[in-house]
Amino acid sequence: MSKFAKVALPAVAVAVCLAFAAVPGAAGASSDANTRAKSHSAGPNTWRHVDASTIAGAKMDAPSSSSDITINVANTSASSTSGPADIQAIIIDCFAGLGHDSLTLDSVFNQTAPPAGTVTVTTGNDADDVGPVVLTYTGFNFGESVALSLDPDTWDNPSFGAIRADMIGCVVEVVFLGATTLRGAGIMKLVSGDRVGAAVMQTNP
């Protein structure tokens, strides 16, 4: 065997191994595109605000020191680039609440439906008791508002007595019905009059 052959054979073996690893379903390789995909996430709370349109509002009344965590959400979608639309879902995530220490959302109660619609709590009253909460609606038209009450706790204390100010940093996301995939998001902040609220800004389309 020549010196050239002794060098070339390992190179061929390496090429065969690499080709085998690239075959979907091969040993050690996942055939699931989701598990093989590289993440291109821009990180949390990095939404693309389309313009200055406030398409929904979420607020709690004063004082911010109250433990009554009742949030009123209004549909103001007529200011969107696609016009008024019905709200299909509201999502509230408090991972950044409590000064970024995080709040869990153990339960949803006293939720109200739109005047001629319905409300369903799909996440937030389940066994894990950690949230975020998701509520879905029918008939939640522009100009209407609903209310919901929450029981925020911490990850290590299921009896934590949260106050409204602890909700600062929580994210409110709104999904609208319609062909335009209208979406919005906002962050709870301390606003005038010692109230806590979020201006839900248009993020899509």
Give yes or no: residues 68 and 146 share one domain: yes
- Residue with the two structure tokens 């996430």: 41
- Amino acid found at 93: D
Give yes or no: residues 25 and 58 share one domain: no
Give a yes or no: residue 68 inside a domain: yes
Cα–Cα distance measured from residue 103 to residue 154, given in angstroms and rounded to the nearest whole number: 5
> Between the CA of residue 174 and those of 2, 5, 32, 54, 86, what are the distances in Å?
71, 66, 30, 11, 10
Which domain range does residue 13 map to? 3-36
Give yes or no: residues 81 and 145 share one domain: yes
Give yes or no: residues 158 and 58 share one domain: yes
The whole model's pTM is what?
A: 0.76
pLDDT in tens, 120-137: 999 877 777 677 999 999
pLDDT value for 23:
41
Closest CA to 125 of 110, 147, 109, 136: 109
Give yes or no: residues 77 and 10 share one domain: no
Question: What 3-state DSSP class applies to 18?
Answer: helix
Number of domains in the chain: 2
Give yes or no: residues 160 and 76 share one domain: yes
Give yes or no: residues 14 and 81 share one domain: no
Give a yes or no: residue 42 inside a domain: no
Give yes or no: residues 95 and 135 share one domain: yes
pLDDT in tens, 143-175: 999 999 999 999 999 899 999 999 999 999 999
Give a yes or no: residue 48 inside a domain: no
pLDDT in tens, 174-189: 999 987 899 999 999 9
Give yes or no: residues 122 and 178 share one domain: yes
Give yes or no: residues 163 and 116 share one domain: yes
Cα–Cα distance measured from residue 170 to residue 189, given in angstroms and rounded to the nearest whole number: 8
